[in-house]
Structure 1
């Protein structure tokens, strides 16, 4: 059996009996993604290691959350979006970006609450919502872990959330009397400023995103009413 760096197992046909997960005793399938204990290197099913919070072979504990990942935790007190929802979004975005991967342990409720200076109950609500949505797995006494299916869920929700916010902003701009052409110019300039502020490369030939063009092309009801 050869453990690959990308977290898969390559099984040879001549090996005979397939190796099994130490927790569920289920046989690994050829090419199946696995998670190796950071301490002893033994392979487990991703979800098993996350659910149990440690290695089944030697009792090793799951590696603690990376310190650099804590940079992802921030909120805006002036944002009208409830704090618990902001925390939910930050977790989703971090998973979608690959900062947290399936099986990774997240900071504890108290750690997040202390960093953000918010009530622990607010963080608990965000974690519960993400657990309910299949993004996180809560294990009493072990912590909160990223669900194996979380990357796909987080990516889809990030796309839907960003699109909804942008559509609202475009609608407000149209209602304010700006023409689609004026809005397109605003979008491109704003995108360039945001990219420069974050040190991201952006071509000078950047044009209006296709999704924005589709939104601007939609017929809108006249918001003005005769008195």
Structure 2
């Protein structure tokens, strides 16, 4: 079954995971974009997009003439990004919390709230945003 993630995101996450686990370490060189794309059977623009995101995330550094390497401090940055991704994907589910929220969610739905509004409200509550505008 194909991954629901776009190919550039798959490339980004694979490199991120290799850094997080120590398979790639600061100073290690990555293949040139065209080479990496050919190896993966992807368009160069796809790998370029992944590299750009990794560079923005402080995982890699690209220098003209020196190529692309794993950045100093990339391991910690990769761990932080992996933890963020886990939290954003929902992380581990606590059955007790699910049952705790089931009643209020059912009430909100009965009042006509959409799931996206309920989720935004929960995020606001978690962030301590007591001044959120009511609809």
**Alignment match, 1:212:** 93
* Aligned counterparts of 2:97 and 2:73: Cα–Cα separation in 1: 30
Q: CA deviation at 1:163?
A: 3.5
Determine helix, strand or coil for the equivalent of 2:12. Answer: helix
Q: CA deviation at 1:146?
A: 0.7
* Aligned counterparts of 2:20 and 2:97: Cα–Cα separation in 1: 24
Equivalences for 1:9-88 in 2 at 5 Å? 78-88=2-12
**Alignment match, 1:134:** 58
Q: CA deviation at 1:113?
A: 0.8
Determine helix, strand or coil for the equivalent of 2:68. Answer: strand
**Alignment match, 1:112:** 36
Q: CA deviation at 1:218?
A: 5.4
Q: CA deviation at 1:126?
A: 0.8
**Alignment match, 1:151:** 75
1:89 aligns with 2:30: no
**TM-score calculated relative to the size of structure 2:** 0.68
More helix by share: 2
Identify which of structures 1 and 2 has the higher relative contact order when contacts are C-alpha pairs closer than 8 Å and 6+ apart.
2
CA deviation map 1:26-78 (0-9, x unaligned): xxxxxxxxxxxxxxxxxxxxxxxxxxxxxxxxxxxxxxxxxxxxxxxxxx8x2
Q: CA deviation at 1:104?
A: 0.8
Tell me: CA distance 1:212–1:109, structure 2 relative to 1, closer, same or farther (3 Å).
same
Tell me: CA distance 1:224–1:121, structure 2 relative to 1, closer, same or farther (3 Å).
same
* Runs of at least 4 residues off by over 6 Å: none
Query: What are structure 1's unaligned runs of at least 5 residues?
Result: 1-75, 169-210
Query: What are structure 2's unaligned runs of at least 5 residues?
Result: 113-135
* Aligned counterparts of 1:150 and 1:128: Cα–Cα separation in 2: 14
* Aligned counterparts of 2:39 and 2:97: Cα–Cα separation in 1: 38
* Aligned counterparts of 1:108 and 1:89: Cα–Cα separation in 2: 18
Q: CA deviation at 1:164?
A: 2.7
Tell me: CA distance 1:226–1:133, structure 2 relative to 1, closer, same or farther (3 Å).
closer
Equivalences for 1:152-171 in 2 at 5 Å? 152-165=76-89, 167=90
* Aligned counterparts of 1:154 and 1:132: Cα–Cα separation in 2: 12
